[in-house]
Structure 1
Amino acid sequence: MSASRTALLVMDFQNGIVQRIADDSVVAAAARAVEAARAADIPVIFVRVAFRPGYPETAASNLSFSALSQAGDAFTQDNPATQVVDALAPRADEPVAVKRRVSAFTGSDLEVLLRGAGADSLVLTGLSTSGVVLSTIRQAADLDYRLTVLSDACADNEPDVHRVLIEKVFPKQAQVMTADEWVKSL
């Protein structure tokens, strides 16, 4: 059996989401993880949520996304609000997957990128804990990835929801640790 290959997922750390959810410490924790992954030759894959102009991917029946068509171009793929924040800027050799739903896998080429990287273990960071992180953990677990969640490199608008997910839900499918604990383990 071959050695395990890890990839770091940096999910939805984009301008329009960071300004609503994260404090500076969450972005800083994610930045430490990105820096350590790069130093350890661990692939870093960025994921952002964005849509085509006119939002053809959003169905009226989808409560989460149907209101976006009223948001003008705020969540379109070229809007500055959907770009990765400068503090975590991807390098030219780091892929950015654009997703069209909550999970990082749905409507993106993430699975193809992970296969190309030979990844079987994922380390997750993201905004929000109850959105992209939860949905991605569930789908990644069903796809048999080994999972780690960096608790301080995730955040949610609802601190109690974040705490319950990190302390009670995620440990059933993932190892949960801080970014600094993960960095020290490399």
Structure 2
Amino acid sequence: MVVVKRRASAFSGSDLDVVLRARGIDHLVLTGIATSAVVLYTLCQANDLDFGLTVLSDACLDTDPEIHRVLVERLFPQWADVVGVDAWLKGIAP
């Protein structure tokens, strides 16, 4: 299945929500470039759509390291489990 992403959020302007729900998926693991844009927008919309969320903090990147740090340490934990890739692969949750 290929979902074409058209906006900052992977959900905006796409059928991603329908595709995921049709497959019974209710938890997402987010990674990506532009922590302060693409990851943030997708996380907010996925949260509004009641998906469970995990953000892999060291699999995200932003042009401003301080903004990235604030997002993954202070904002994202309000809505998602935030862990590193190694911890996630080992099944270690916060």
TM-score over 0.5 for the pair: yes
Equivalence for 1:85? none
Find the partner of 2:69 among 160, 163, 185: 163
Letter in 2 for 1:129: T
Equivalence for 1:181? 87
Equivalence for 2:57? 151
Provide the secondary structure at the position in 2 that maps to 1:144. coil
Separation (CA, whole Å) in 2 of partners of 1:113 and 1:162: 29
Number of residue pairs matched by the alignment: 92
Equivalence for 2:5? 99
Is 1:137 aligned to residue 10 of structure 2?
A: no
Identity %: 60
Separation (CA, whole Å) in 1 of partners of 2:85 and 2:22: 25
Residue 107 (structure 1) shift? 1.0
Equivalence for 2:21? 115
Kindly report the root-mean-square deviation, in angstroms, between the aligned alpha carbons of the 2 structures.
1.2
Provide the secondary structure at the position in 1 that maps to 2:67. helix
Larger relative contact order (C-alpha < 8 A, sep ≥ 6)?
1
Residue 109 (structure 1) shift? 1.6
Separation (CA, whole Å) in 2 of partners of 1:175 and 1:139: 16
Gaps of 5+ in 1: 1-94
Separation (CA, whole Å) in 1 of partners of 2:73 and 2:85: 16
Separation (CA, whole Å) in 1 of partners of 2:20 and 2:2: 12
* Per-residue CA distance 1:91-113 (angstroms, 9 max, x = gap): xxxx3321211001001121122
Moved over 2 A (4+): none
Is 1:125 aligned to residue 31 of structure 2?
A: yes
Residue 127 (structure 1) shift? 1.1
Separation (CA, whole Å) in 2 of partners of 1:127 and 1:109: 21
Separation (CA, whole Å) in 1 of partners of 2:41 and 2:2: 18
Letter in 2 for 1:111: D
Structure-2-length-normalised TM-score: 0.91
Residue 116 (structure 1) shift? 2.3
Structure-1-length-normalised TM-score: 0.48
Equivalence for 1:60? none
For the pair shown, which has the larger CA radius of gyration, 1 or 2? 1
